[in-house]
Amino acid sequence: MTCAQSYRWDEMRWAWPEGYARQTAPKKKVVAIDYGAKRNILRCLASAGCDVTVLPATATKEDILGFAPDGVFLSNGPGDPAATGEYAVPMIRSILDDTELPIFGICLGHQILARALGGKTVKMNHGHHGANHPVKEIETGKVEITSMNHGFAVDGQSLPSGVIETHVSLFDGSNCGIRMTDRPVFSVQHHPEASPGPQDSFYLFERFVAAM
């Protein structure tokens, strides 16, 4: 369920012996759009150095820019990306058209970002669920053990010029990541915050902060 109103998040990932510490010296301001966000994603953003403000799924460009963020995060969530995209895609396109803000998406956020960029999503015959999914980062050849929970996927063959595939599933070759070639806008299908690796994919949060 998405939040009904905005709120701040500063809790970081659990660490021994402190437990869930608070982010007291953030480096960048992030607005996270909540399509059904997992708390550990917000913790990872905070741990990577972000001052996080969470906004409802129906937030507008004006709502987002009112917080003067350094970057925008698109969360995971349930359902068909085409349905969520009816209101999310126009907002994302307006951010892309009117700003140079870095954008990072996970799962549903990945799918609706792809649609906003001109790609397509498809219903999978067999969804991906579980915490043992090998995903390859194409540019480096690195294999990450990831967590997945989705029944739709981005059609990697539908990506327009200027958008490339960055990650693929080693189970079935389906798309697991995209990025724009000329801007810090990227997303992944898997859940780096779930840490089944356990740290295989945390670099994505660090990459987002570096882009800001």
Tell me if residue 206 is catalytic: no
Domain boundaries, the chain: 7-211
- Identify the pLDDT of residue 2: 82
The answer, yes or no, to whether residue 1 has pLDDT greater than 70, is no
What value does the mean pLDDT take over residues 59-85? 97
SS3 of the chain: the string is CCCCCCEEECEEEEECCCEEEECCCCCEEEEEEECCCCHHHHHHHHHCCEEEEEEECCCCHHHHHCCCCCEEEECCCCCCHHHHHHHHHHHHHHHHHHCCCCEEEECHHHHHHHHHCCCCEEEEEEEEEEEEEEEEECCCCCEEEEEEEEEEEECHHHCCCCEEEEEEECCCCCEEEEEECCCCEEEECCCHHHCCCCCCCCHHHHHHHHHC
Tell me if residue 176 is catalytic: no
pLDDT tens for each residue of 91-140: 999 999 999 999 999 999 999 999 999 999 999 999 999 989 999 999 99
What value does the mean pLDDT take over residues 67-72? 98
Q: Which is higher by pLDDT, 195 or 143?
A: 143
pLDDT tens for each residue of 173-205: 999 999 999 999 999 999 999 876 667 789 999
Set 44, 50, 107, 176: catalytic member: 107
Tell me if residue 165 is catalytic: no
Superfamily name with CATH number, domain 7-211? Class I glutamine amidotransferase (GATase) domain (3.40.50.880)
